[in-house]
Amino acid sequence: MNIAKWEPQFISNPQKHFTLLNRSVQRLFEDFDRNFFKPALSPTQGSFIPAFDINEDKENLYFIAELPGLEPDDVKLTVSEGVLSVRGIKKRKVEHQERSFYKMEQSYGEFVRQFGLPEGIREDDIQADLKNGVLEIVVPKQEPSKPREREVKIGNVIHKAKEILQSNSSDQAQAIPMSKTAMKERLTEATA
């Protein structure tokens, strides 16, 4: 960050405020550019980073990117632990070596884009297609599970428990008290 001379703000001079604001914004962008963009745009590291559109419908998520000049062999897709990774390389064609360039605006190099996938997708069924420089990745969603429903019979459990106890002889019931597990088994048998 550059050291800048502090200048007091004067309400009486609006032009001065605008000039100060303009200088501050310029310094901000210069610092940002110097520290962030310069290393990423160096020719040795490459600067091609494809932009993705991501959308969905009821059945699928869609990841769409423009990859002009790339073939399917130039792109690798992987899915691991809920992360979709798109890796590739856009190579510079070595045509026109005898020409001098005034400007080069096309970008080349290796790229990696990673996207965290939400819960409830079918990783094994992901498909992709690269046609005419457009990559489309289709990520199918799992069908929502339907709630399971079963009928519960209504009965007088206390009445059945008394019947089971009475079916044992009174001597046997007093001599050997029933455990909770034995009681549950008897109730299950009686209600089945």
pLDDT in tens, the chain (192 residues): 344 445 555 555 666 667 777 777 777 776 665 555 444 444 434 578 899 999 999 999 999 999 988 999 999 999 998 899 999 998 877 666 777 777 777 788 889 999 999 888 999 999 999 999 999 999 999 987 778 888 887 776 666 666 766 666 454 545 456 666 776 676 677 665
Q: 63 burial class (0-12, 13-18, 19+ CB within 10 angstroms)?
A: buried
The reported pLDDT for the residue numbered 113 is 92
H/E stretch holding 27: helix 14-32
Q: Measured between alpha carbons, how far is 113 from 125 in angstroms, rounded to an integer?
A: 20
| Integer CA distances (angstroms), 90 to 62, 95, 117, in order | 22, 15, 25
Query: Which among 106, 110, 93, 105 has a CA at the least distance from the CA of 46?
Result: 110
Crossing angle for the helix pair 157-167 and 180-191, nearest 10 degrees? Answer: 110
Q: CA 178, CA 161: separation in Å to the nearest integer?
A: 11
User: Per-domain residue ranges for the chain?
Assistant: 1-40, 52-140, 157-191
pLDDT for residue 93: 74
Task: Return the CATH architecture of domain 52-140.
Answer: Sandwich (2.60)
Report pTM.
0.52
Given this model, what pLDDT does residue 90 score?
87
Could you tell me how many residues make up the chain?
192
